Amino acid sequence: MPEKQLKICYLITKSNFGGAQRYVYDLATEAKAAGHEVLVGFGGEGPLKAKLDDGGVRTISINTLERDVRLLGDIKTFFTLLALFHNENPDILHLNSSKMGGLGAAAGRVINTRNHLLRLLGKKNTVMHIVFTGHGWAWNEERGDVERFVIGLFHWLTILLSHETIAVSRRTRDQVAVLPFTWHKLKVIHNGRDPMNPVAKEDALDIIFGDQKSTWLTESPIIIGTIAELHKSKGLSYAILAMAQMKKQKPDTRLLFVIIGEEGQERDSLEKLIVQYELEGSVFIAGRKENAASLLSAFDIFLLPSITEAFPYAVLEAGNAGLPVVATAVGGIPEIIHDMESGILIQSRNPSEIARAILYLVDNPQRMAKLGEVLKERIRDRFSVKHMVTQTFSVYNRE
């Protein structure tokens, strides 16, 4: 941790508790513990606010801030940010997520320009060091070419307006490094995750299934689990199609796929797919669960079939739990998992590959256990919260 005490303002668009919010929470609480003055701003009053309040971190909710583009609301948010930066005068402005990154960097530059001029007049106004973390680029999602171009343009402008941009994986960095005038601003700092105290397996199953436990857990099934928002980018439909294939290939083996995670736009289409392939007894959508990572003890295999990722916490959490992981080779996932050494990497959008990988683990239990052990050791050594925080504070101090 740095010796100089800093005033740090963290900003993020949404106040749910996905990967980016976990990142902000970890940095903010670690910074406060180190004696820095910390403020976290966000849209709404979701779980992130509650967790930060419990940790004694000061927060501010920006009620005009939303994920979708709303011209009037975005203009109001911009002026709210100008007032916030004027009143708070932070040393570090650390921006997260696309919407907040763009609005925050633009507002930060306006205030910095004013502060530079005031300093010429002998004032002592702080010039903020603007840091942006790219948790993934929205153009990787399924969008039209024009929309991808516009999104890419705004990402580029955000990087230009920021002093430094943290990419959470080498793949994330390389995707924007080709843009003009960006390479010198980019630094790779992988996400970090420490092990959680696991809930005992039977207790975890009780929490996941509730009063439906006895119905679902007949014949001692092999449980394939995931933690993922019900969003198209998570590739859950391909996992369901893989379940249909495995049911035909191994009719005598009871396999159960459990999805834990935030609600999303794909709930209806996933449920229709389950009915279409007669998987009502083979796929369980558990919904959001508090401290989901502590429930990983309920699973035998962890599956992440994402179409796009940057550097997912879910894989780190599964590895910390000692689970064998099957994941698509997208984004920074190959920087965590070495294929057939610390997990199994597969192509995205490919149900047959998912099925082959899962059935390989089912047929090779010793190999399955070994993959989980190797991944657990790798994450412990390379992807801790302490490592992430130390590297991030070196950015704050321009080291």
CA pair distance 203, 99, nearest whole angstrom: 39
Instruction: Return the closest-CA partner of residue 231 out of 94, 67, 379, 103.
Output: 67
pLDDT at 139: 73
| pLDDT at 151 (0 to 100) | 84
Q: What is the DSSP letter of 139?
A: G
Contact between residue 100 and residue 74 where contact means Cβ atoms under 8 Å apart: no
Half-sphere exposure of 44 (CA within 13 A, CB side): 13
Output the pLDDT for position 2.
Answer: 43
pLDDT at 231 over 70: yes
Q: What is the pLDDT of residues 107-117, one digit of tens each?
A: 999 999 999 99
CATH number of the structural domain 7-192+384-396 = 3.40.50.2000
As a whole number, mean pLDDT of residues 171-194 equals 95
The region of weakest confidence among 67-71, 184-188, 349-353 is 67-71
Q: How confident is the model at residue 1 (pLDDT cuts 50, 70, 90)?
A: very low
- Type and span of the H or E element at 153: helix 145-161
On the CB side of 73, CA atoms within 13 Å amount to: 13
Q: Inform me whether the pLDDT recorded for 140 exceeds 80.
A: no
Instruction: Provide, rounded to the nearest whole percent, the portion of the chain with pLDDT above 70.
Output: 99
Per-residue pLDDT, averaged over 266-270, amounts to: 95
Percent of the chain with pLDDT over 90: 85
Band (pLDDT 50/70/90 cuts) for residue 119 is confident
pLDDT in tens, 287-330: 999 899 999 999 999 999 999 999 999 999 999 999 999 999 99
Q: What is the pLDDT of residue 308?
A: 92
Stretch 22-47: mean pLDDT: 96
Average pLDDT, the chain: 94
Name the segment(s) of the chain with CATH classification 3.40.50.2000: 7-192+384-396, 201-382
d(CA 126, CA 329): 43
Residue-level pLDDT at 3: 58
- Determine the topology of domain 201-382 in CATH: Rossmann fold (3.40.50)
Structure-block tokens of residue 255 = 């396999």
Averaged pLDDT for residues 55-70: 91
